[in-house]
Chain A
């Protein structure tokens, strides 16, 4: 089996497993405890927080550890929405339909149950929320803008720094979901100028089940998981010490090895994009070509059931993903495919191929040699429906 779905998740780097392992049994204490066991665990959480802060170029008390990227998005958006409403009566939140469901569903929820007003931003044909779109949409009443750093489905990178500047100039809180981006793009929050940023460890060779939220000092936020006073009273619950250690180590290694990782994946990605567009008729790249995650290739094929293509690929030994993928055989084009204006005929036939540090040139060659005939097969079965 060849794994080409690194945007879904990554294997955990053995160095990270090693860093985590003492905190399962030897140093198993609860960081809130007074005794030595607790102190040792607390020290591990604190040094992890410092390590993350160094990568993000922020202060350690601006880092909140969570259980995943989705939780970080929830805490950021709900937490800030409630806090701002209390403080200023704020109601308006802006985001695009191309955001991850952790953002769009949270906003829908805030609209439906809490009376917030959501304005959905347009995206251009590459799925990009341009600074111009944001500048045009905001008004005096806009309280929060949320724009993802890079899109999970189509790999498009947004101009976060420019959008952050616009928001800052208009005194609007700006959140970015950097869950996909952090694996390859710089995440210096001062350089980016964001107020809040969501991260999840398993996209960059860390474990599943741990994430973090950067919150700029002074940003109003109320917790949405209430209980004990952990994480500066913003996220209750005993800290998941080994996973927090794993998160920090994964982010540190990602930052240190960024250049060599990009140098490894980018040529593989370029080869995939070039070869697919050349060898498969009625195919197109989805997302931007230039402003694109370096490990990310995504396509739409006309007249293909993307789900079926994934099935054929899996049976042939290749693990990929699709925007319309659905384990229950009920495919619909994703919100992202709709947002970038693809018709149903194209939108159902999406394919995402994402490579990683373990991907070899031989893997890519094998994939590229088999994909055209599998697309053809999927097309034939689709036509016979």
Chain B
């Protein structure tokens, strides 16, 4: 009987993932990571409050599977929180869920799962994996694992999983991705599992339900240095109170008087200036992504067309992708895209298959 560790959060999706795998005949073990919380805010951390831990423990008991909590506080702070702070210090808008998935869930937790004797690790993500015979012309022959969008397009979470490589995907199971959210709720009810899902929130777990600016204020106040607001044409028209306080595309709250609406276009961390411009200046057809992960493990040799998602909630847009060596890729959209934001990921899809992705420069 193959053994699988399910990363449980107490929420309905990972609970159903465990239930489905048990039904499919796996030997299932539930695990939860104790992540870092700001001192004093342990009860409002979104991922591992005492409440969600009790919930996950309860679900494990209902499913009659073992359940363990692993301490990941230090590694989470050193990797994810540092990444988050460094990103803002560079003038980017980092997405720490990406590095969390790569370094915490699919490295740290996977190591623990394998040490426990597991063959697979599963999460409650809406995504799918598919084993395929790789192309005869491919450099590495043999079976490959493709990463696919979840069946439920509204809930698809493959965006945050584009960081996975073949070594990790070989061990990955995403049972929930084969179903729609309403179906998952039904399955939860059938098994008598708690169906209340956490508030669908874009908040990061360690922000304790607060605005990220409060977190920066408390943990990296030194990076919130006031500076100039400058137009695309180089004219200083006001001052900002710290680059990290602004997001690309932001219009409200700039505090500058102008005959036409002005938007945040980009941030110049070196000069500590906020560059603003008109709506027309906001769009761009080009972006470059760094640290690109090609899910197949092979860098495409030719430019190729794909649908590109530039943030978790963005709609895909048609583009030509040109891998340009050194882990980078040039993305040329058919039409200008608004709000291309450094630090977020650009993820490339062909139909349902995730080809790869990288961090927008």
Is A312 an interface residue when CB atoms closer than 8 A count as contact?
A: yes
The distance from the CB of A371 to the nearest CB of chain B, in whole angstroms, is: 15
Please give, as numbers and ranges, the residues of chain B lying within 8 Å of A329 by CB-CB distance: 32-34, 48, 69-72
Is A384 an interface residue when CB atoms closer than 8 A count as contact?
A: yes
Interchain CB contact under 8 A, B111 and A381? yes
Is B236 an interface residue when CB atoms closer than 8 A count as contact?
A: no
Interchain CB contact under 8 A, A308 and B34? no
Interchain CB contact under 8 A, B66 and A315? yes
The distance from the CB of B112 to the nearest CB of chain A, in whole angstroms, is: 6
**Nearest-neighbor residue (CB-CB) of A305 within chain B:** B71
Please give, as numbers and ranges, the residues of chain B lying within 8 Å of A327 by CB-CB distance: 57, 69
The distance from the CB of B207 to the nearest CB of chain A, in whole angstroms, is: 20
Is B61 an interface residue when CB atoms closer than 8 A count as contact?
A: no
Is B73 an interface residue when CB atoms closer than 8 A count as contact?
A: yes
The distance from the CB of A379 to the nearest CB of chain B, in whole angstroms, is: 11
Is B68 an interface residue when CB atoms closer than 8 A count as contact?
A: yes
Interchain CB contact under 8 A, A385 and B50? no
A327 vs B34: C-alpha distance when bound (angstroms): 10
Please give, as numbers and ranges, the residues of chain A lying within 8 Å of B112 by CB-CB distance: 308, 381
**Nearest-neighbor residue (CB-CB) of B37 within chain A:** A330
Is A88 an interface residue when CB atoms closer than 8 A count as contact?
A: no
**Also in contact, A377 and B70, with CB within 8 A (given A315-B29, A328-B50, A330-B34):** no
**Also in contact, A311 and B116, with CB within 8 A (given A327-B69, A328-B69):** yes
Residue with the greatest number of chain B CB neighbours at <10 A, chosen from A311, A312, A381: A311
**Also in contact, A308 and B66, with CB within 8 A (given A329-B32, A384-B111):** no
- Residue of B33, B70, B75 touching A311 (CB-CB under 8 A): B70
Residue with the greatest number of chain B CB neighbours at <10 A, chosen from A314, A328, A384: A328
The distance from the CB of A361 to the nearest CB of chain B, in whole angstroms, is: 26
Interchain CB contact under 8 A, A328 and B68? no
If over half of B's interface residues share one DSSP class (helix, strand or loop), that class is named, otherwise mixed; here it is mixed
- Residue of B34, B71, B108, B115 touching A377 (CB-CB under 8 A): B115
Interchain CB contact under 8 A, A328 and B117? no
Is B53 an interface residue when CB atoms closer than 8 A count as contact?
A: yes
Is A321 an interface residue when CB atoms closer than 8 A count as contact?
A: no
A140 vs B29: C-alpha distance when bound (angstroms): 58
Is B210 an interface residue when CB atoms closer than 8 A count as contact?
A: no
Please, what's the 1-or-0 string for A61-73, where 1 marks a CB less than 8 Å from any CB in chain B? 0000000000000
Please give, as numbers and ranges, the residues of chain A lying within 8 Å of B74 by CB-CB distance: 385
Please give, as numbers and ranges, the residues of chain B lying within 8 Å of A384 by CB-CB distance: 108, 111
Please give, as numbers and ranges, the residues of chain B lying within 8 Å of A377 by CB-CB distance: 115
Interchain CB contact under 8 A, A308 and B70? yes
8 A Cβ contacts from B65-98 to A: 66, 68-75
**Also in contact, A314 and B68, with CB within 8 A (given A328-B53, A377-B115, A381-B111):** yes
Interchain CB contact under 8 A, B71 and A308? yes
Please give, as numbers and ranges, the residues of chain A lying within 8 Å of B70 by CB-CB distance: 307-308, 311, 329
A315 vs B70: C-alpha distance when bound (angstroms): 14
Interchain CB contact under 8 A, A311 and B34? no
Interchain CB contact under 8 A, B108 and A385? yes
**Also in contact, A328 and B66, with CB within 8 A (given A315-B116, A385-B75, A385-B108):** no
**Also in contact, A331 and B71, with CB within 8 A (given A312-B116, A314-B66, A315-B29):** yes
The distance from the CB of B231 to the nearest CB of chain A, in whole angstroms, is: 47
A316 vs B34: C-alpha distance when bound (angstroms): 22
The distance from the CB of A324 to the nearest CB of chain B, in whole angstroms, is: 10
Between-chain CB contacts (< 8 Å), 6 pairs: A308-B70, A312-B116, A329-B71, A330-B34, A377-B115, A381-B111
Q: Which 7 A-B residue pairs are closest in the complex by CB-CB distance?
A: A329-B34, A329-B69, A311-B68, A329-B71, A315-B116, A385-B75, A377-B115
Known contacts A307-B70, A329-B70, then 9 further A-B pairs from the complex at CB < 8 Å, ordered by chain A residue: A308-B70, A308-B112, A312-B115, A314-B68, A327-B69, A328-B53, A328-B69, A329-B69, A380-B115
Interface positions of A (Cβ within 8 A of B): 305, 307-308, 311-312, 314-316, 327-331, 377, 380-381, 384-385
